[in-house]
């Protein structure tokens, strides 16, 4: 019995993402260097309501601790055959430097984003060398990739051709791919955790609102299906009740396309003795209008509480959901979906708010805390 439990725990530990500790330990060792090749065909999504194009571009992105305010970084990518795919050196400075790359700084750490050519097959190895004269660090990275695929429909079950944008850190840059006319999509991604996924087409902000995925854990091939509707499940997060009832908490902010162009005048709201403008651009939700699922299994809703999320000096309504977790304790990666359908009156007409969003996490062995 004990041996079986040990084998189960070992198997569970081995199933966790290899780079779950990403990105830095701050030790300055070579294992603090991380690099990823995002191999996507060049394309774009035009957000008509904003007149903005979101480009799909293959990129090589590198993270590390900067040895100085000015240094050289040399990068080489090779195919499985050993053939060279990419080889170039860049001067990186806190002020100035090579203009062909984009550099982001976070304290003593940096990230560089380099446009590269799409390859029939992504590289097998990436070699990174950071040279600051007296300091030289190098790391050979064995690339790991996994396939993300799925199907996109509208809320009537019809195929929806959409752009799927997968962002690693924030809302800048995208590994992007279009689904086909049947709504199917597939993209090969480096192994890591991704901040968010955006799913919609050019009708964003006019007829549809984007579907969102949050904290996407790419440690294996997986399939994620989306529904595109008229509203959003924005900023979705989940965490277990570590010291009380056997429940999970979820928070999110609803937003609806019907309010984008018909935003009501801000109303005052007082929070902790301070008065703010309340910007209400989402449906007024009720528990019966929501469905929460963990790996496809519906979770009972215990409570739904409205609260206010501060953003840019204003308040926006958000929700805290508490759901029961009996029967939901599954070992491994959890995919949680929140779906709603709500009606409201706007200019004397009934409008329907529909949305689905998802988030992923790893619970520990007992379901408390998470990785």
CA gap 173, 36 in Å, rounded: 13
Please determine, for residue 23, whether its predicted confidence score (pLDDT) is greater than 90: no
Residue range(s) occupied by CATH 2.60.40.10 in the chain: 145-361
Partners of 233 in beta bridges: 254
Q: 23: cis peptide before it, omega within 30°? A: yes
Report helix, strand or coil for 275.
Answer: strand
pLDDT at site 114 = 96
- 68 within 8 A of 89, measured Cβ to Cβ: no
Please determine, for residue 174, whether its predicted confidence score (pLDDT) is greater than 80: no
Does domain 12-142 fall under CATH 2.30.110? My reply is no
Looking at mean pLDDT, say which of 131-135, 150-154, 313-317 comes out highest.
150-154
Going by the DSSP 8-state scheme, the letter that residue 265 receives in this structure is: P
Token pair 């215990």 in the structure block, residue: 302
Going by the DSSP 8-state scheme, the letter that residue 32 receives in this structure is: G
User: pLDDT for 56-106, tens place per residue?
Assistant: 999 999 999 999 999 999 999 999 999 999 999 999 998 887 888 999 999
Tokens, residue 150: 């799925």
Q: 170: cis peptide before it, omega within 30°? A: no
Tokens, residue 144: 């790991």
User: Which region among 25-29, 99-103, 362-366 has the lowest average model confidence (pLDDT)?
Assistant: 25-29
- 318 within 8 A of 306, measured Cβ to Cβ: yes
User: pLDDT for 314-360, tens place per residue?
Assistant: 999 999 999 999 888 778 899 999 999 999 998 889 999 999 999 99
Tell me which CATH code domain 145-361 carries: 2.60.40.10
- 164 within 8 A of 199, measured Cβ to Cβ: yes
């Amino acid at each position: 019995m004990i041996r079986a439990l040990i084998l189960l725990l070992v198997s569970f530990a081995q199933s966790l993402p290899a780079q779950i500790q990403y990105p830095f330990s701050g030790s300055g060792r070579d294992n603090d260097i991380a690099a990823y090749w995002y191999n996507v065909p060049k394309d774009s999504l035009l957000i008509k309501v904003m007149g903005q194009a979101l480009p799909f571009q293959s990129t090589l992105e590198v993270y590390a601790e900067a040895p100085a305010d000015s240094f050289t970084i040399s990068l080489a990518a090779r195919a499985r055959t050993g053939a060279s795919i990419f080889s170039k050196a860049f001067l990186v400075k806190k002020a100035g430097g090579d203009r062909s790359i984009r550099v982001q700084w976070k304290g003593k750490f940096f990230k560089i984003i380099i446009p590269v050519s799409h390859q029939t097959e992504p590289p097998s190895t990436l070699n990174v060398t950071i040279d600051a004269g007296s300091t030289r660090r190098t790391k050979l990275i064995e690339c790991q990739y996994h396939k993300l695929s799925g199907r996109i429909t509208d809320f009537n079950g019809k195929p929806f051709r959409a752009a799927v944008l997968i962002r690693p850190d924030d809302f800048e840059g995208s590994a992007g791919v279009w689904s086909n006319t049947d709504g199917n999509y597939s993209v090969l991604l480096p192994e890591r955790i991704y901040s968010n996924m955006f799913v919609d087409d050019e009708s964003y902000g006019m007829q549809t609102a984007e579907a969102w995925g949050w904290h996407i854990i790419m440690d294996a091939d997986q399939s994620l299906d989306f529904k595109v509707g008229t509203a959003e499940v924005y900023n979705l997060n989940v965490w277990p009740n570590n010291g009380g009832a056997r429940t999970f908490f979820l928070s999110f902010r609803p937003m609806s396309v019907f309010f984008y162009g018909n935003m009501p005048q801000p109303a005052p709201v007082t929070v902790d003795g301070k008065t703010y403008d309340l910007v209400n651009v989402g449906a007024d939700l009720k528990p019966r209008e929501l469905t929460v699922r963990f790996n496809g299994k519906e979770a009972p809703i215990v409570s739904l509480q409205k609260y206010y999320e501060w953003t840019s000096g204003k308040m926006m309504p958000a929700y805290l959901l508490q759901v029961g977790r009996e029967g939901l304790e599954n070992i491994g990666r959890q995919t949680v979906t929140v779906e709603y359908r709500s009606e409201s009156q706007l200019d004397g007409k009934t409008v329907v708010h529909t949305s689905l969003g998802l988030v992923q996490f790893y619970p520990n062995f007992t379901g408390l805390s998470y990785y």
